Every structure is written in structure tokens, then in C-alpha cells.
Amino acid sequence: KEPIFILAIESSCDDTSAAVLCNKKKLSNVVATQKIHEEYGGVVPELASRAHQQNIVPVVHQALSKANIDKKQLSAIAFTRGPGLMGSLLVGTSFAKSLAIGLNIPLIEVNHMQAHILAHFIEEESMTAPTFPFLALTISGGHTQIVLVRDYFDMEILGETLDDAVGEAFDKSAKILGLPYPGGPLVDKYAQLGNPKTFQFTKPRVDGLNFSFSGLKTGILYFIQKEVKKNPDFVAENINDICASIQYTIIQILMDKLKKAVKDTGVKRIAIGGGVSANSGIRKALKEAEHLHGWITFIPKFEYCTDNAAMIGIVGYLKYKEAHFTKQDVTAKARYVI
Ligand code: KG4
Ligand code: ZN
């Protein structure tokens, strides 16, 4: 019976998040980002699970109080089963199970990658949901995938990264330039002031719709080392042009594969998600493609691009409608294909 209230929990990586949805609408979406990893230049799994354990109860309390509902009103608990870091997933999974038993309501497992895609179906005034079929490009620090989405739960991965994710390509390039972690937003910031055609980096040759970013990172490292030998101030003097050139190369890699995916499938609706969708260059390239190639692009609110529990909640709602519930003996799954 409507309305359906879903409490959703996300703990796959380094953000502890809880959200409450009323049908397709978000009532609250609380995210506790773990600062601890900054000093290590990347996510430390052991520290991430400990921080989840510390944060999860207050984050859930906050989500419920912001939504202004009592836990007795909840229809079901949705949680991220995977993919992600095992120690992180275990915290959310165990917590969701216990709460569902305690409240005597159904438990719903959610695939994190499906959630990034289905985030487009959260009802918000500023967002239009894509119609099926569409292509989803999921780009973040942990993932890079092109997925053909025929229906809510009928998805096919057309391509994915064979090594680093796009966000890692940004972050590792930034690290080479001496920028703090996560460097993606900084590369974007400097890139906007530079000339993208200044330096050329070799694009990887990868068959089909798969990606590879580790070669690009090595290419950038060797280039910088060579230039710094000639001029120790090379990076500082050229930071804008270097960032613009790196960003341009990464965007070209993404756009080339998207063009191929559109050609292969005939589908021109493109929905993007993941933290890298914040990148100004990729947003611009997608808008240009609307004019150049007649694509229709969908970019969710930034809140729903980065890891968040509201996207877990929308999947929870869609599964609830189909009475697609999960048994209490479910286990977290670090590798979990769509
Ligand atoms: O989705 P997200 O918050 O977390 C996961 O990785 O799941 O994505 C974070 C990634 C980081 O690699 C960060 O550097 C990158 O997204 N990122 C950006 C920008 N904003 C965030 N990369 C390029 N340009 C940006 N503006
Ligand atoms: Zn994610």
C-alpha cells in the first residue's frame, strides 16, 4: 500500500550514507564522507570499515529525523550488497539485516552499479528520467562502464575498464603533478584556464567498448619526469595547460567509446552518473554532442552522481513494487556484476 517508505543504506567504499524515500521522492539523503583517507592519498580499506562502523548509527538517525518520519513507518530496508570493499559492505549489510529483523519489515539487496544508473529515476523537479532503452556511462573513482539499459532490471554491460577507473586516471595524474587527493576536481579547475591542445598524450588502443587508463597515467608520468629534468619549474609554470591537455585526452577517450556505443546500438539517449560526471569538460562535450550528433543526454543532480543512499533507495522502491525481497542469509558481495 502507498506511500512506501524505504530506508536505504550505502557503505560500499568510503562514504557512509543513509536516505529515506517516499515512493520515488527523496525525503533525506545524508552522506558522511570519510576525511581520514586524504592523508594517505587514497582509500584505506581497513580505515574505511572502521569509520563506517562509527558513522552508521548517527547517519541513519539523521536520515530518519531529516525525513521527519518514525522508524515504525518504514516499509522496507534497502542496502548495498556490492560491488565494493568487503569490510565496508559488511557494515551496511549487517546493520540493514539487524534493523529489518528488529522492525519486522522486508530487506532488499541492491547492486551499487545498478543504483548509479537508476538514480536517474529519483523524482526531482530538476531531473528528467530517460526512457528505455538508453546508454548509461558510469564514471567514478571506482567504476567506468558503458551499459545498455533496456529496462529497470534488464541491463547489459557493453564495456568497462580493464584497469584503472576514470576517476583514478584523474586522481593519479593529479598526484604526479603534486596535487592533493582526490585531485580530479583540481585538474578540472586548472583545465578550465588552460589550452587543451598544448601537450599530446597517447590514447590507449583497446578493442570494442572497453577502456584502459593505466597506460595514459604512465605516459603522463614519463612526460613530466622528462620535462622536469630540463626545467624543474615545468609543472608550476604550465599547470593549466598540462591539466587541460590531460582532461582533454580523458574526455576524448570517453567520447570515442560513447560514439561507438551509439553506432553499435542505435541508441542516442545517454545517461551519465558517478563522481566524474561533475567534470566541466565532460558536461560540455555531452552538450556539444546533443547538437552535433542529435544525442539526448541526462545528467542527474550532483548529489545523486557521487556515492549516496538515495540511489539505493530508488532501487529499493522499484524492487519493493515487485515484491523482490531478500532473505536474511544474504551475504555481501565484493564482486557483483549487474
Ligand atoms: O562517485 P565518487 O564520489 O566516488 C567513487 O569513486 O565511487 O567519485 C569520486 C571520483 C574521484 O576520483 C574524483 O577525483 C572524481 O570522482 N571527480 C572528478 C571531479 N569531481 C570528482 N574528476 C574530474 N573532474 C571533476 N570535477
Ligand atoms: Zn559508486
Distance 106 CA to ligand 2 centre (A): 24
- The answer to the question of whether 84 is labelled as a binding residue is no
Grid coordinates given for 146: 558503458
Q: Which of 29, 43, 140 to mutate to test the pocket of ligand 1 (most atoms within 8 A of CB)?
A: 140
Residue bearing cell 559492505: 89
pTM, full prediction: 0.95
Ligand nearest to the CA of 304: 1
Q: What residues pair up with 32 in beta bridges, in sequence order? A: 16
Cα end-to-end distance, the chain, whole Å: 29
- The answer to the question of whether 184 is labelled as a binding residue is yes
Ligand nearest to the CA of 43: 1
Measured from the Cα of 183, ligand 1's closest atom is: 14
What's the chain's Rg over C-alpha atoms? 20
- For atom 19 of ligand 1, the residue with the nearest CA is 185
- For atom 20 of ligand 1, the residue with the nearest CA is 185
Q: How confident is the model at residue 36 (pLDDT cuts 50, 70, 90)?
A: confident
Q: How confident is the model at residue 155 (pLDDT cuts 50, 70, 90)?
A: very high
Q: How confident is the model at residue 219 (pLDDT cuts 50, 70, 90)?
A: very high
Distance 322 CA to ligand 1 centre (A): 33
SS3 251: helix
Ligand nearest to the CA of 116: 2
What are the pLDDT digits (tens) for 170-211?
999 999 999 998 999 999 999 999 999 999 999 999 999 999
**Contact residues of ligand 1, CB 6 A cut-off:** 13, 140-142, 167, 170-171, 182, 184-185, 188, 274-276, 278-279, 306-307
Mean pLDDT (the chain) is: 96
**pLDDT at residue 299 above 90?**
yes
Provide the residue type at 185 as one letter. P
- The answer to the question of whether 17 is labelled as a binding residue is no
**pLDDT at residue 39 above 90?**
no
- The answer to the question of whether 329 is labelled as a binding residue is no
Distance 170 CA to ligand 1 centre (A): 8
Distance 172 CA to ligand 2 centre (A): 18
- For atom 14 of ligand 1, the residue with the nearest CA is 184
pLDDT at 198: 98
- The answer to the question of whether 41 is labelled as a binding residue is no
**Contact of 240 with 288, CB cutoff 8 Å:** no
Residue 233: how many CA atoms within 13 Å on its side-chain side? Answer: 1
Distance 235 CA to ligand 2 centre (A): 31
Residue bearing cell 538508453: 134
Least confident of 31-45, 82-96, 103-117, 257-271: 31-45
Distance (Å, whole) CA 66 – CA 153: 30
- The answer to the question of whether 82 is labelled as a binding residue is no
pLDDT at 230: 98
Structural domains in the chain, CATH included, are: 5-121+305-321 (3.30.420.40), 134-299 (3.30.420.40)
Average pLDDT for residues 150-155, to the nearest whole number?
A: 98
Distance (Å, whole) CA 143 – CA 269: 20
Distance 74 CA to ligand 1 centre (A): 32
In 112-268, which ranges are E strands?
Answer: 134-139, 144-151, 154-160
